[in-house]
Amino acid sequence: MKIGILGAGSWGTAIAKLLTLNKHEVTMWSVDAEEIAMLNEYHEHKQKLPGVILSGIVDFTTDIQSAIEEKELIVMAVPSPFIRNTSKQAAPYIKEGQIIVCVSKGIEEGTLMTLSEVIEQEIPKASVAVLSGPSHAEEVGKCMPTTVVVGSSDKAVAETIQDVFMSDFFRVYISPDVTGIELGGALKNVIALAAGIADGLGCGDNAKAALITRGIVEIKKLGVKMGGHPETFSGLSGTGDLIVTCASVHSRNRKAGFLMGQGKTCQEAMDEVKMVVEGVYSAKAALELAKKYDVSMPIVEAVNKILFENYPAREAVKDLLGRDRTSEVTSLSWN
């Protein structure tokens, strides 16, 4: 299959490696001419994914038209803040019913739309699907065992993407719950910031386990209110993605949180990470959605205070521990 990948960062590069190993022809696009020049020369992203060599059939371009036309599948891999603008650029060249699979994670600030909703708004003629799960580019690029889920309202579209991506190290499940998959993938980044902050403060493993456990509760409560299926949040794009993003050395969200826990400002942390920290862009949107749907999300609230109100991280931990007493499972009653 001929496939266009929009976005040539670490994730776009790892996906290009996977797809070429599956014998597909790939064209990678980036707006950054220097990035494309580097990829053309070395077939390796030396800054964002060093050591991963693209040895299959790959073309690199700054011309978005050539990355889209005559392609059977488009992979949207730009960071979440650039999804809308990239979709606008791509729209004139997308044909009716063309499959676009969004592999980025986030919620658009301001509109509170998921990324697939943004793409559908800008490219209504496309058939938009999502791919998510615990899948750091650093490991996919090295062909390490990985499992993800593809979400689409059209089963045939989901199965097509499943066939394209499936390999002996990359297992793909399918699901009709696009909303749940996207919310799990976006909101876990905010919880991962909290986990990183706790690590930076030296709070220990008990605290991280609690943040992961109570974090998935917050994600599930909001996700179900917004139409996601409860089971999705126990799956790969929920619990699975949350665990890896809170614990992995590859997690840019955890790393940024760790730096903030050690005293750096949000901007200083992002500058040091040197890549887009998706959780920072999703945090405000998550809090707004919590208010809109009347869902209590104390971890998300604490992260927002630390990020945008210069609230001391250690005080935020005390606030979380000092909240009113309550039951863990509120749906159960005493005999």
pLDDT digits (tens, 9 = 90+) for 264-287: 998 999 999 887 788 888 999 999
| pLDDT tier for residue 7 given thresholds of 50, 70 and 90 | very high
**Average pLDDT of the chain to the nearest whole number:** 95
In this model, does residue 330 exceed pLDDT 90?
Answer: no
Three-state SS for 42? helix
| pLDDT tier for residue 257 given thresholds of 50, 70 and 90 | very high
* Phi and psi based region of residue 51 (left: phi greater than 0; alpha: psi -120 to 50; beta: remaining): left
Q: Is 2-176's fold the same as 179-321's?
A: no
Supply φ then ψ for residue 128, to 5 degrees: -100, 130
**Helix pair 178-201, 205-225: axis angle to 10 deg:** 160
What would the pLDDT profile of 174-225 be if each residue is shown by its tens digit?
999 999 999 999 999 999 999 999 999 999 999 999 999 999 999 999 999 9
In this model, does residue 243 exceed pLDDT 90?
Answer: yes
Pick one of 3.10.420.10, 1.10.1040.10, 1.20.1250.20, 3.20.19.10 as the CATH number of 179-321: 1.10.1040.10
Task: Select from 306, 320, 211 the least CA-distant residue to 257.
Answer: 306
In this model, does residue 68 exceed pLDDT 90?
Answer: yes
For the chain, give the percent of residues with pLDDT over 70. 100
pLDDT (average), residues 226-235? 97
| pLDDT tier for residue 170 given thresholds of 50, 70 and 90 | very high
Three-state SS for 29? strand
pLDDT reported for residue 277 = 85
CB 311 within 8 A of CB 305: yes
Segments in 10-109 forming alpha helices (H):
10-21, 33-42, 64-68, 83-90
CA dist list (Å): 181 to 9, 104, 106, 186, 299 = 22, 12, 11, 9, 20
CA distance linking residue 320 with residue 331, whole number of Å: 22
pLDDT (average), residues 293-320? 95
pLDDT reported for residue 56 = 83
CA distance linking residue 207 with residue 254, whole number of Å: 14
Angle made by CA atoms 106, 97, 10, in degrees to the nearest 5: 35
CA distance linking residue 288 with residue 113, whole number of Å: 11
In this model, does residue 69 exceed pLDDT 90?
Answer: yes
CA distance linking residue 4 with residue 325, whole number of Å: 52
Task: Select from 41, 20, 40, 21 the least CA-distant residue to 30.
Answer: 40
Q: Is the dihedral of CA 84, 86, 88, 92 positive or negative?
A: negative
**Helix pair 178-201, 252-261: axis angle to 10 deg:** 30
The domain segmentation of the chain, as residue ranges, is: 2-176, 179-321
pLDDT reported for residue 331 = 85
Three-state SS for 101? strand
In this model, does residue 261 exceed pLDDT 90?
Answer: yes
pLDDT reported for residue 174 = 98
pLDDT reported for residue 159 = 98
CA dist list (Å): 174 to 53, 89, 131, 151, 235 = 29, 29, 9, 6, 12
Contacts 24+ apart (CB under 8 A), 285-292: 285/107, 285/108, 285/109, 285/110, 285/112, 286/107, 286/186, 286/187, 286/190, 286/222, 288/112, 289/107, 289/112, 289/222, 289/226, 290/222, 292/112
Least-confidence region, from 122-131, 154-163, 206-215, 266-275: 266-275
In this model, does residue 151 exceed pLDDT 90?
Answer: yes
In this model, does residue 329 exceed pLDDT 90?
Answer: no
Among residues 71, 188, 255, 284, the one annotated as catalytic is: 188
Q: Tokens 């409860």 belong to which residue? A: 230
CATH topology of domain 2-176: Rossmann fold (3.40.50)
Task: Select from 200, 11, 201 the least CA-distant residue to 106.
Answer: 11
pLDDT reported for residue 185 = 95
Q: Tokens 């990359």 belong to which residue? A: 170
Annotation marks residue 225 as catalytic: no
Q: What is the pTM of this model?
A: 0.94
In this model, does residue 93 exceed pLDDT 90?
Answer: yes
